[in-house]
Structure 1
Amino acid sequence: MAENEEVSGVEIELEHVTKRYPGTRTPAVDDFSMVVPAGKIVVFVGPSGCGKTTTMRMINRLIEPTSGRITIGGDDALKLDVDTLRRRIGYAIQQAGLFPHFTVAQNIAVVPGLLGWDKKKVNDRVEEMMDLVGLDPADFRDRFPRQLSGGQQQRVGVARALAADPPVLLMDEPFGAVDPITRGNLQDELLRLQTELKKTIVFVTHDFDEAVKLGDKIAVLGNQSTILQYDTPEAILANPADDTVAGFVGAGASLKQLTLLRVRDVELQQDALTVTDDETPASVREKLQSSRKHFALVLDARRRPTRWVHVRELTSATSLANLGKPLRDVVSLQSTLQDALEAMLAEGGSVPVTGARGEYAGTIQLDTVIATIQQLREEHTNDEEVPA
């Protein structure tokens, strides 16, 4: 992030924080100290039971520390009224934790309502947040959680966490309960949001690949939240601090470098023929024939890619509506090259790429990813050959 870009997040500092439960001989979290930089994503990764969730929950005092000091934007979190504190911190959890008898709009409006915002301001904010997380208010605002997919529920959960514009967002394995493709899309969505919002985010996961993809910095934690290594993903992949961290990195560390490179880092192709929903099949067929292509990419009114249509399907059709093959997977500029490779395998070819608000930005080709992998391997081999 450039130095002059505005950051809405604030620094979090934990100093010698310990949590000891009554009747236990060893603390759940022992003397934990860390600075979380303003406007960055810091990921806590470690095995189940290591204390990572307990540590994160002490930031918003869902769990009260036994000792130590926590400051948020310079304010002592332990001296603030707990309700005031929590309204300044967004919180997103696994399976969204939505109120089942509230509509989507009512769920998102909870904290602004508690803060006493007027009705118009709340309604405007609900619509803004739904649009931000890619849910059309006209379609979704009056639905109940049970009427949403898992991925849609998580989007509502993130919108609710951000509704009052808190500087800090805590995320406790928020994407752990959805399928891999949806999980990848939600990760991309979070990265896209972060480029706009620049919150301070503490994210808990047990998935090291997720940590590498999302984190500006990663804290690899051992028992009692002992910090085994706290550094950038690049540094941890290149130089694990010890055997335990190396175990998290796992085999194929050089291939994991694909998760450090984003689609925005490589050249996109602009060779796909794009058409809009309102064009006639005859005009699309003419465009395909004149450009000697077989497929056209259909964009909606907001220039978001929706499906591929083949020239054969246009012969007797009277409208583009419902024609073509819906896209199974789309990647964004925030997606990793590993995501792009997986999407290509699912789509069977090049994959459309979307920009900041889901608009079409180009396509990424398999040749591009293969060339990047070969370059990474060559660099990795050369690094290993250089004598110390």
Structure 2
Amino acid sequence: MGANAPSGSAGGDSVEIRLEEVTKRYGNRAEPAVDAVSMTIPAGELVVFVGPSGCGKTTTMKMINRLIEPTSGRILIGGRDASSLNPDELRRSIGYAIQQVGLFPHLTVAENIGVVPGLLGWDKARIRSRTEEMLDLVGLESGEFFGRYPRQLSGGQQQRVGVARALAADPPVLLMDEPFGAVDPITRGNLQDELMRLQAELGKTIVFVTHDFDEAVKLGDRIAVLGNQSKILQYDTPEAILANPADDTVAGFVGAGASLKQLTLLRVRDVELEEVPTASVTESPSVLAEKLGSRRGAVGLVLDQRRRPIRWATKRDLARASSLETVGRPVVDSVDRASTLQDALEAILTDDDGYAVVTRSRGEYAGVVGIDTLMGTIRQLREQHEDTDGADA
């Protein structure tokens, strides 16, 4: 990075962000849009700003990379005052992903991802290598997507490219402004899972803006619940906010079913996975039928040649099948080990046999989570919640 970039940016190390009495006023308006916000965003954490539309959360975030200039106060990034840095250099050292994606329509996927590295003077070989690495990181095959244009991508694929572009120059800070708000619920859940996986690998300092409290609970190491003028109503871990909302406004965000929301705090990796019989798509249906045995209602999974789950099959399905390529029914939804138990519950509810398929980082089969496991976890959470309520009383 340039000499004026925040410290830590050259190697992509995460940095602390500190806001000190940050205020934004527009024109002659009596009330500021953002009023004296002070907070510390720890290095390497994902902090979510959540609040109603118009409360100032996006304005607050945009002041971090000076897309909006503060009227007063200070923002320190890695210990350096952002106002003392060259704005262009600052923005090149901070990844930025937005709801509308903002890909350049006349550039290919590869050219979009390479924009910031190109501005930083990287050579073509290094940019190409980094682009291929980023595509792999966000789960897109380089050979398939490298030369495509944005119009040839689905909404979810465009968002993945947007995240890849934001990460391409290995910035220490990533700003995300409702990046998944414009896609369907299933794709949104998949993108959230992908972000959690990436953050576990990369450990960036991420500021994420949303109006969806469930999304905030799922993603955030900490949540800043904001009111009008970005007043901080509560700034704490998701667990603490769910257990002890600071006031009635925060309690309104938490809503009913706080014990069920605890499922978004637990990951699939926190429960013991179950196994179902599996067979490769290249094997005979009789191989899977033999593994299923004679147990009534038994179901198995067909895996592709990369061990990714593709179809469910019962003994009845297999009895009349000549190939595993089209037997049974397709696997519609899956979760990975970083997914929340709420995601697993949603997948279970859409599955005829009451299972959520669990995959590894590249889609390989890892196991399943069954409805009995989830119900047992929910009972434990409810009992813990009741014990806490009893102790508070």
TM tier relative to shorter chain? over 0.9
| Aligned-residue identity in percent | 71
**Contact 2:12–2:171 (CA under 8 A) maintained in structure 1:** no
Q: In structure 2, what residue type is equivalent to 1:85? A: L
1:113-262 mapped onto 2 (5 Å cutoff): 113-262=118-267
TM-score (normalised: structure 1): 0.93
Partners of 1:7 and 1:145 lie apart in 2 by 27
Distance in structure 1 (CA, Å) of the matches to 2:144 and 2:297? 35
Q: Any conservation in 2 of the 1:7–1:39 contact (CA below 8 Å)? A: no
Q: Which runs of 5+ in 2 are unaligned?
A: 1-10
Instruction: Compare 194-203 and 25-34 and name the one that shifted more.
Output: 25-34
Could you tell me which residue of structure 1 aligns to residue 5 of structure 2? none
Q: What do residues 107-141 of structure 1 show as CA deviations (whole Å, max 9, x unaligned)?
A: 11111111111111111111111111111112222
TM-score by length of 2: 0.92
Q: In the TM superposition, what are the counterparts of 1:1-388 in structure 2 within 5 Å?
A: 8-270=13-275, 272-289=276-293, 294-314=298-318, 319-348=323-352, 349-386=354-391
Taking the aligned partners of 2:196 and 2:69, their CA distance within structure 1 comes to 30
1:89 positional shift: 0.6
Q: Which residue of the partner structure matches residue 3 of structure 1?
A: none
Distance between the aligned counterparts of 1:240 and 1:90, measured in 2? 32
Cα separation, 2, equivalents of 1:223 and 1:302: 50
Asked whether the equivalents of residues 279 and 287 of structure 2 are also in contact (C-alpha less than 8 Å), the reply is: no
In 2: Cα distance, 1:98 partner to 1:153 partner:
8
Give the secondary structure class of the aligned counterpart of 1:78: helix
Q: Which runs of 4+ in 1 moved over 6 A?
A: 290-293
Distance in 1 between the 2:392 and 2:28 partners?
A: 54
CA contact (8 A) 2:297 2:314 kept: no
CA RMSD, aligned part only? 2.0
Q: Is the 8 A contact 2:56 2:228 kept in 1?
A: yes
SS at match of 1:383: helix
Distance in 1, Cα, partners of 2:160 & 2:266:
25
Determine if contact 1:219/1:230 at 8 Å carries over to the other structure.
yes
Contact 1:108 1:126 survives alignment (8 Å): yes
The CA distance in 2 between the partners of 1:378 and 1:228, in whole Å, is 28
Look up the equivalent residue of 2:356 and give its one-letter code.
V
- Tell me which moved more, 117-126 or 305-314: 305-314
Structure 2 CA distance for aligned equivalents of residues 209 and 215 of structure 1? 10
Higher mean C-alpha deviation, range 43-52 or range 75-84: 75-84
Shift of 1:209: 0.6
Which residue identity lines up with residue 248 of structure 1 in the other structure? F
* 1:201 Cα offset (Å): 0.4
Shift of 1:357: 3.1
Task: Indicate how the Cα distance of structure 1 residues 290 and 253 shifts in structure 2: closer, same or farther if over 3 A, else same.
Answer: closer
Q: Please tell me whether the aligned partners of residues 88 and 167 of structure 1 are also in contact (alpha carbons under 8 angstroms).
A: yes
Counterparts of 2:110 and 2:305, CA distance in 1: 24
